[in-house]
Amino acid sequence: MSLKAGIVGLPNVGKSTLFNAITKKNILAANYPFATIEPNVGVVTVPDTRLEFLENLYTPDSLVPTTYEFIDIAGLVKGASNGEGLGNKFLSHIREVDAIVEVVRCFENADITHVEGNVDPIRDIEIINVELIMSDLEIVQNRISKIGKKADMTKDKKELLEINTLKKCKENLEKNIALRNVVFTEEELELLKNFSFITLKKIIYAANVNEEDAIVGTNKYVELVRDYASKESSGVVVLCAKLESELSELEESDKKNFMEEIGLSSSGLDKLIFETYNLLGLATFFTAGPKECRAWTFKKGMKAPACAGIIHSDFERGFIRCETMSFNDLETYGTELKVKEAGKMRLEGKDYIMQDGDICYFRFNV
């Protein structure tokens, strides 16, 4: 399961600096708007100590962690939905992602120009939210104009569902309410998937602070962002993009030592990844053996055949059963054989709901 997150924010809030840290790529990070013109894509591995345990146990020929794709999208300014700055060119890229990471400036620095003149994280968030809402509203209005009369005339159930759902969207968007904050039925949500609405996507606010506040974990601006995010059940991660960029240049052992010295228990980037997984309701299962140990991302609530299909469509189509043990049991007993002797190895069928940390061997026949 491929996971994409789009990094957005006003110019000069630290987006490109954060992206540099994520991908260890030297993307231009300049002190002026639109230093990033095209969306830059970087794939990072998701840290998971369980995979390290499996590697030590099986000593496989290859080790494949699950990955996370970040897209650094050009800085947004007020009026983007009407073509200001880079306009809708940037908005089209956001529609392709699973989640939005909105970098919000929560630090003061006279040497770094703020496009709006001063530091005000809530104003910055609302500028972006309005642009995203206006972009979705345009799509809704165009679609309603196209099918509205036809749906009323034919009384077709599918078309009526679509038009009524879009009218519901329109009413909320016109009140500046993002679609992620609207309650939809499962049927309505299934219909809305076709439109890739930006404001329906989950959002995480990355509060970019200075190094001192990153160690403390907060400041007055961060608290404002947390209060705002809590009202829409969004996530907040506090980090210092500049510090993360410096950490990304270090070897793993040096990085751990440096973090211990300054009092950081984990990096902001790791927190960002874990928060995204939590917000999107994702989890990890494993396949393990002497040839390969691999982590796979799945959505919580998925059944075994669907998870098998993440590996290969034939696995799902011809699914018979899944030999499963939990990572915790393997860690406790030390070997597969001892897990079996303890009666902890299970045979699960088509209705089994996959659990985080399951180690699986799928049996199938096509």
Q: What is the distance between the terminal CA atoms of the chain, rounded to a whole angstrom?
A: 22
Q: Is 151 or 337 the better-scoring residue by pLDDT?
A: 337
Q: Which of 204-218, 254-268, 352-366 has the lowest average pLDDT? A: 254-268
Tell how many helices (H) and how many strands (E) occur in the chain. 15, 12
Which residues is 294 bridged to in the sheet?
64, 287
- Sheet architecture: strand order including 319-326: 62-64, 292-299, 282-287, 358-364, 319-326, 346-348
Separation CA 142–CA 124 (nearest Å) = 28
For the stretch 93-134, pLDDT in tens is: 788 889 999 999 999 888 776 777 789 999 999 998 888 898
Q: How far from 88 is each of 5, 35, 76, 95, 224, CA to CA, in Å?
A: 18, 17, 10, 11, 29
Q: Average the pLDDT over 171-193 and give the result.
A: 95
> Is residue 73 very low, low, confident or very high in pLDDT (cuts 50, 70, 90)?
confident
Q: What percent of the chain stands above pLDDT 70? A: 89
For the stretch 266-312, pLDDT in tens is: 889 889 988 988 889 999 999 999 999 999 999 999 999 999 999 99
Q: Which of 96-105, 155-164, 230-239, 308-317 has the lowest average pLDDT? A: 155-164
For the stretch 15-71, pLDDT in tens is: 888 888 877 644 444 444 444 445 577 778 888 999 999 999 999 999 999 888 888
Separation CA 264–CA 4 (nearest Å) = 27
Tokens 């968030």 -> residue: 125
Phi then psi for 267, rounded to 5 degrees? -75, 155
Separation CA 187–CA 184 (nearest Å) = 8
3 state DSSP class of 296:
strand
**Global confidence as pTM:** 0.84
With contact defined as beta carbons under 8 Å apart, do 60 and 293 qualify? yes
Burial of 289 from C-beta contacts in 10 A (0-12 / 13-18 / 19+) = middle
Q: Which of 208, 213, 262, 233 is nearest to 12 (CA)?
A: 208
Q: What is 130-193 written as a DSSP string?
A: HHHHHHHHHHHHHHHHHHHHHHHHH--HHHHHHHHHHHHHHHHHTTT--GGGS---HHHHHHHG
Separation CA 213–CA 260 (nearest Å) = 16
Q: How far from 226 is each of 103, 154, 221, CA to CA, in Å?
A: 13, 47, 9
Q: What is 25-94 written as a DSSP string?
A: ------SSTTS--SPEEEEEEPP-HHHHHHHHHH--SEEE--EEEEEE-PPP-TTGGGT-TTTHHHHHHH
- Residues contacting 233, CB < 8 A, separation 6+: none
Q: What's the token pair of residue 21?
A: 């840290």
Separation CA 195–CA 138 (nearest Å) = 12
Q: How many residues does the chain have?
A: 366
With contact defined as beta carbons under 8 Å apart, do 244 and 267 qualify? yes
Separation CA 128–CA 206 (nearest Å) = 14
